[in-house]
Chain A
Amino acid sequence: MSAERIVVTATGAVCSGGKNPGDIFAAVRDGKSSIAPIQQWDTTGWPTTTAGEIAGFNAREMVEDRKLHKLIRRTDLLGLYAAGKAIDGAGLAAHRDTLAADAAAIFNDRTGVYVGSGSGNFENQYDYFPLLAAAGGSLPTFGRELANTVNPMWLLRSLPNNVLGHIGIKYGLKGSNACITSHSCSGSLAVIEGMEALRNGEADRIVAVGHDAPIEPQMVLYYYRLGLIASEALLPFDVARDGSVFGEGAGALVMETEASAAARNAKVLGYVLGGGEVSEATGLLAIRDDGDGLARAIGAALDNAGIGAADVGMIVAHGNGTRASDASEAAAIRTVFGGKAPPVTAFKWSFGHLIAAAGILEATLALEALAQRVVPGVAALKQLDPECAGIPVSAQPQVPRSKVALILCRGFGGTDAALLVSAA
C-alpha cells in the first residue's frame, strides 16, 4: 500500500452550526445544537418539523456573483462557498497568480477538483409545474408552450456537477476531476478519489468538496415515510433514538503532495492517511445487522493507510440516529477494535445529516478535534442503548489517544466509507 503522505493545507465548511470548521466544531464541543423548526416552508400539520437549516440563508453571502445565482441552486451555492473558503485559505489562486504564464498553466493543469454531490432535488423539477398546469395533461400543448414558460437554463441549473464546473471556471483549475453521486458516501469518496489522484501522479493538489441541501418538502416526506426521520431530535446510540434529522451544507479540503505544499511554504493542517469504501449489496435501504460492510470499510482504510487499529486515536461515528444504523455501526466498531476502541463521538446530533456532504464536513471537524486534542462529548446522549454497548461514546469530552482520527460514513445502497486523517 502506498505510504506517500497527502497533506491538508486548508478546509472550508458551512452548515447550520456555522460558516467555518472552527465555529461548527466549537458548537459541537460546547454541546450546542442548531436543529430548529424548518423555515423554508410552512410545516403546520407535518409529522416532522425540524432540521439543521442555515438560518438567514443569504445567497450573496455564499456566492457574491449575482449572475451566477441564475445558473445554480441552493446546494451549489453551499458547495461553492465551502470550496472557495478552502481554495482561498490554501492560497492556491494567489500563489498561481505570482507565477509566469507557462508555470501558471501547468499549475492549473495539475490542480484537480473532486466533488461529492447530492445529485439534485425534487424542487428542480417543480419548474415544470406552471407548464404542466397550463397544458392540463396535453403533452402536445406542453411541448408547444415549453419555451414560453420554462427557464431556458433549466437543465444547466439542474446539473448535479455544477459545483465542479463552476469551481473550475472561477479559479481556472483544469486538472483531474470527478463528480460523485453515491448518496451519503459521496463526500468521503471525493476525498478518497482525490487522495488517490495525488498518489498516482495525476495531480499535485486537489480541491475536494461535498455539498447537499436535502431540506425540501418532498425529500423530508419520503424519508419520514421510510421511517428514517426522528420525531424531534437526533439521539445517536441512545436507547430512545428514533431517526435522523436533515442538515444542509458543505465541507471542503485542499489536499496536496508534500512537494506542492512546500513549494508555497503552505501551512500544513494535517494529513489524509487513507480511505476505504464497500457495499453491503443489500439494496437501496436495507443494511446488515452485523456491521459487516462498515467493518470491512474500516479494514480497507487501515490497509490503505498502512496503519493498524491500535493507531487510531478517535472515531467520528456516522451516528445518524436510526435504530438499525447505530446498532450495526457499534457492532462494526466492536468487530474491528475488540474491547480496545478509542474514544468515539458523533456530530450529526448538533447540525443534522448533510447526506452527500456529511463525511467530508465531518473530516474537517475531525481535524479541528485533533488540533484541540478533544473528542467532543455527544451532548444528546442520555442513555446508551445496550445494543450499542461496548463502544466508548460519552456525553462528556474525551481525549484522543493519538493524532489519528477515523471518520465513518454510511449511505443508501448499503455503502460504507471510512476515512483516516491525522493532525499535523
Chain B
Amino acid sequence: MTPRKRVAITGMGLVTPVGNDVATTWDAVLHGKSGGAPISVFDASGFLVHIAAEVKNFDAAAALGDRKLMKLTNRSHRFALAAAEQALQDAGIRPTEADGTRWGLTVGAGMMGVDFADLAGTQVHSAADGELHSDLLLSDGPANDPVAFCRSNCAAGLSLLTRRFGIRGYTSAVHTACASGGQALGTALKLIRRGAADRVLAGGYDSMISPVGISGFCLLSALSPDNATPQRASRPFDVSRNGFLLGEGAGFLVLEEWQAARKRGARIYAELAGDGNSLSSYRITDSPPDGDGPIQAMRQALWSAGATPDDIDYLNAHGTSTGMNDRSESAAVKAVFAPDVERLSVSSTKSTMGHLIAAAGAVEVAICALAIRDGLMPINANLRDVDPDCDLNFVRDAPRRQRVRMAMSNSFGFGGSNSCIVLRHPDETDAALEGRPQ
C-alpha cells in the first residue's frame, strides 16, 4: 500500500461574533472576551431569549466587493464569502483557469429558508388569515421573485463560492445540524486523501439569529435565558449552565496535499490528520448520558489520524453549555482518554463565541490550528463551579502555554451525528514523513 496522503492547513479565514478576522477572533477566544449581547438585528424584546452572539461591525458591501452580490446573498452567505476570501489570501494561492478543476469545495451549510422579510411579506399577501391561499401566491411578490428563491436554495452558498473563486472540481454541501462544519472538513480530508482533489476550500457558515431561527431554539428551551448577563450566558461545563448562546458566522480553511504545499513553500498551520463520525442513534436532540456515539467518533478520528489518545494535548470540546450535552461529552472524553484523562487540556470556545451551529465545527478546527501554531490553549470562559459530572482538566482563567502536538475538535448535532477532527503539529508530521523520531 502506498502511504496515505497527508493534508495541510495552509490558510484560514474567520468571521465570528468576536472578530471579523482570524487575529481578532483568536485574541478574543484566548482571553475569553465574550461576543454575547442583546440581539440587535431585529426587535427580540418579546422573545423569551433576546440575547445572542452576533457578528459585529461587518461591512458586507466591502467584504463582497460587488454590490450585485448583495441581492443574491443572505447574511450567512456574506459571512461565507468573506471568510473564504480571507482563507485564500492567507494561503497565498487560489484556483486558476488551469487548475480550478483540481480544487474542491465542501461546506457545512445552514438550514434552508427564506429571509424573514420575505416570509412576512408572503404571509401578508397570501396568508392574511394565517393559512396559505395558494391562488394568492400567483400574485405574491417574494414568491415570484427568482432572486428570493436563489437566496433560499440549499445550493446557494456552494454556487456563490464556486463561481466567485472558480472552483470546478468536487463540490458538496452537508447539513448535519451542529456537526455540519466538522463533517465538511472531514469530507475535504477524504477528498484529498483519495486523490479526488489536490486542494479544497472547506468550511461552514450559518446565521440563525432571525425571528424564525431564535424561535426554533426557544421552543425547544435550548438557549440560555440569561438575558441580563449575555456575556456569562454561555458557560459550558459549569454546574449552573442553562443552555447555549446562539452565534453566527463562518470559518473556511484552505487544505492542500502535504507534499505539494511543502513544495510551493506554503506556511502550514497544522496537518488535518483525522476525521471520525458516528451516529448516536439515541434521541433526536439528546446525547446518551454514557457518551455512546461521541466515543466512536473520537476513536475513529484517532484511527484515521494514526494516533492514540496519549498523542492529543488539547481538546476543543463541543461544550454547548446545555445540561445534557456537556455531561454526555464529558463521559465520552473520559471513556476515550482513560486512564490519563487528567493530562488532556480541555476548553469549549463556545463559552466566548457562542454556538455557530453549521459553522461551529469549521471555526473550532481553525481555533485548534492556532493553538498548535502558538502553543497556547484558549480558555473555557465563565467556568466558576465545574459540574462534578464534568470533571475534566479545563483551561480556566488564563490561556495555557504548552506545545500542542495534536489537537482534537468535537461537534455533535441534532439528529445524532457526531463529528470529530484531529490535527497534528506540522513538525510532528514532517518528522514522521522523514522517519525521524518525533
A353 CB to nearest B CB, Å:
15
Chain A CB within 10 A, most for which of B156, B171, B292: B171
Chain B min CB distance to A148 (Å): 11
CB B147 to nearest CB in A, in angstroms, measures 10
Bound-state CA distance A8–B313 (Å) is 42
Contact partners of A146 in chain B: CB under 8 A: 47-48, 215, 218-219
A45 to B183, CA, bound (A): 45
**Residue A383 at the B interface, CB < 8 A?**
no
Residue of B nearest to A118 (CB): B154
**In the bound complex, CA of A251 to CA of B130 (Å):** 35
Nearest CB of chain A from residue B71's CB, rounded to whole Å: 13
In the bound complex, residues from chain A placing their C-beta under 8 Å from that of B415 are 159, 161-162, 164-165, 179
B194 lies within 8 A of chain A by Cβ: yes
Q: Does A101 count as interface, using CB distance less than 8 angstroms?
A: no
B123 contact set on A, CB distance < 8 A: 128-129, 132-133
| Interface window among B159-167, B231-239, B371-379, B400-408 | B159-167
Known: A152-B219, A161-B176, A168-B279. Contact between A413 and B155, CB under 8 A?
yes
Interface pair B120/A164, CB less than 8 Å apart: no
Q: How far is the CA of A146 from the CA of B144 in the complex (A)?
A: 28
**Which listed residue (A160, A293, A412) contacts B155, Cβ 8 A?**
A412
User: A42, A175, A181, A183 — which one has the most chain B CB atoms within 10 A of its CB?
Assistant: A181
Q: Give, as a whole number of angstroms, the nearest-CB distance from A339 to chain B.
A: 25
Query: Per-residue CB proximity of B135-151 to A under 8 Å, as 1/0?
Result: 10110000110100110
Nearest residue in B to A158 (C-beta to C-beta)? B111
Q: How far is the CB of B94 from chain A (nearest CB, A)?
A: 13
> CB-nearest residue of chain A relative to B170?
A277
Residues of B within 8 A of A285 (CB): 150
Contact A284 B156 (CB under 8 A): yes
Query: Which B-chain residue is minimally distant from A130 (CB atoms)?
Result: B130
Binds B, one of A84-92, A215-223, A229-237: A215-223
- Please, how many angstroms separate the alpha-carbon atoms of A144 and B45 in the complex? 9
User: 8 Å CB contacts to B: which residues of A290-316?
Assistant: 293, 296, 300, 304
State whether B144 touches A293 (Cβ < 8 A). no
- Which residue from chain B places its CB closest to the CB of A201 in the assembled complex? B303
Which of B249-257, B280-288, B316-324 is found at the contact surface with chain A?
B280-288
| Interface check A182, CB cutoff 8 A | yes
Q: Is B153 an interface residue (CB 8 A)?
A: yes
A143 within 8 A of B: yes
Per DSSP, are chain A's interface residues mostly helix, strand or loop, or mixed?
mixed
Tally B residues with Cβ within 8 Å of A. Answer: 94
Contacts of A258 in B (CB 8 A): none
Q: Does B26 lie at the interface of the complex (its beta carbon under 8 Å from any beta carbon of A)?
A: no
Total chain A interface residues with beta-carbon distance under 8 A: 99
Contact of A134 with B130 at beta-carbon distance under 8 Å, contacts A140-B45, A147-B218, A158-B111 already known: yes
Q: Return chain B residues, CB-CB under 8 Å to A178.
A: 174, 176, 183, 187, 277, 417
Partner of B46, one of A2, A140, A278, A280: A140
* Cβ of A172 under 8 Å from chain B: yes
Give Cα A44 to B156, complex, Å.
31
Cβ-closest chain B residue relative to A136:
B124
Whether the pair B112, A119 counts as a contact (CB closer than 8 A) is yes
A411 within 8 A of B: yes
A244 within 8 A of B: no
**Centre residue among A71, A118, A133, A161 by max chain B CB count within 10 A:** A161
Residues of B within 8 A of A174 (CB): 278-281, 292-293, 296
The 10 lowest CB-CB distance pairs between A and B, nearest first, are: A143-B46, A140-B46, A155-B216, A165-B415, A143-B47, A119-B154, A413-B159, A130-B130, A168-B281, A133-B130
Q: List 19 A-B contacts (CB under 8 A).
A: A119-B112, A124-B113, A129-B123, A147-B48, A150-B219, A155-B216, A172-B281, A174-B278, A176-B278, A180-B172, A181-B112, A181-B173, A200-B194, A221-B143, A222-B149, A412-B159, A413-B158, A414-B163, A415-B158
